[in-house]
Amino acid sequence: MSGQSDPRGSTFSAAELEFLAEDETIEIVPNLRMERLSLICGDFGPFRPQIATQVPIWLAVALKKRGKCTIRPPDWMSVEKLTQVLEAERDSASSFEALPFHYVEISRLLFDDARDDIPDVYMVRSLIEDIKDVRFHKIGTGLEKLSSRTYAMKLNLSAMEVNVIRPFVTGGLETFYKLGNPDLIQESSDRPQHRRPQPADRGPRRELRR
């Protein structure tokens, strides 16, 4: 049952997130001739050698594993684009750059099965790791600002990030809500900051550049 999400926690397991990500479409260049596939999840193809076409990632990976296509990594998965994203992530304390909802899972799927189709794969991989780190740090800083008066929280994050912080956000907000009295707990910014170097709203830029 390990791969199944906890029925109590109502979150998705890593395998389930990957499953969802596998439905995202991606461009492939087939090297085989195959008729159109009329699948439950949609119609794909027809497949002609050297003619690019869009398919779900699970289908792309299945063809790739069998040596029947090359996968064109999505635009955002280039060194140039990811470097920009990383810079921008570091420059802003509360904005998150536009990455697909499933960027973590998609990159993992492609690293596993289509390494040779990704230019500068090692660089791309390490950039994605860095982006993940920076974003998680920002998320952590943001969570410190939750309070009993929080009634909503905008979190334009990726699937994996949402899943990881879900217990904190939902559990934390719920606890505040239960405590009820909004005056019981002071807004975190009203409190004298302890230990941490002042995580002002702009966010500590130095810390991000670990």
Partner 1 sequence: MYGRKACQLVKELTNSESGQLTTFNNDLFAQVIEECEAHFRDLQALFMKMQEEGTSNQTTKNPDHFGAFMHHLSLVRNKRCIMAYVYNRAEVVQNLGWAVELLLPEEIEEKLSNSEKEYFKNHLATLKSYMTDMDIDLAVDMVPPKDPYIKVRVLENMGNVALSDQEANLAMHAILFLRRTDAEQYISQGKMEELTV
Partner 2 sequence: MESGSDKGTGGFSAMDDYETLISTTDADLLKRSWRNEKAAPEILQFESSLVERSRAQIQLMEETVEEFMNSGEDPLTVSLYQMDIDRTVFLLRSYLRTRLQKIEKFMFHIQKTADLWSRLSRQEQKFAKRSIEDMEKHLDQSVLSKLPDWYKSHLKQSGTSEEDDMVTEPKLDAFVICRSRKFVGGLPVDDRQVNNMSFYKKGWGDYIIYSKVKMKKKLDKFCGEENPLDMYAGDIYALRYKSIKPLIESGQLDLV
Which position among 61, 85, 124, 165 is part of the footprint of partner 1 (CB under 8 A)? 61
Nearest to partner 1 of 4, 84 (CB atom): 4
Residues 6+ apart with CB under 8 A from 180: 148
Which position among 154, 195, 206, 210 is part of the footprint of partner 2 (CB under 8 A)? 154
Binding mask 117-156 for partner 1 (x = CB under 8 A): ----------------------------------------
The answer to whether residues 161 and 136 touch, using CB atoms and an 8 Å cutoff, is yes
The answer to whether residues 99 and 120 touch, using CB atoms and an 8 Å cutoff, is no
Look up tokens 């090692």; give the residue.
122
Told to check if 153 binds partner 2 by CB under 8 A, we report: yes
Told to check if 13 binds partner 1 by CB under 8 A, we report: yes
- The helix (run of H) or strand (run of E) holding residue 179 is helix 159-179
Q: Which does 170 bind (CB under 5 to 8 A by kind): partner 1, partner 2, none?
A: partner 2
Judge if the upstream peptide bond of residue 182 is cis by omega within 30 degrees of 0.
no
Told to check if 112 binds partner 2 by CB under 8 A, we report: no
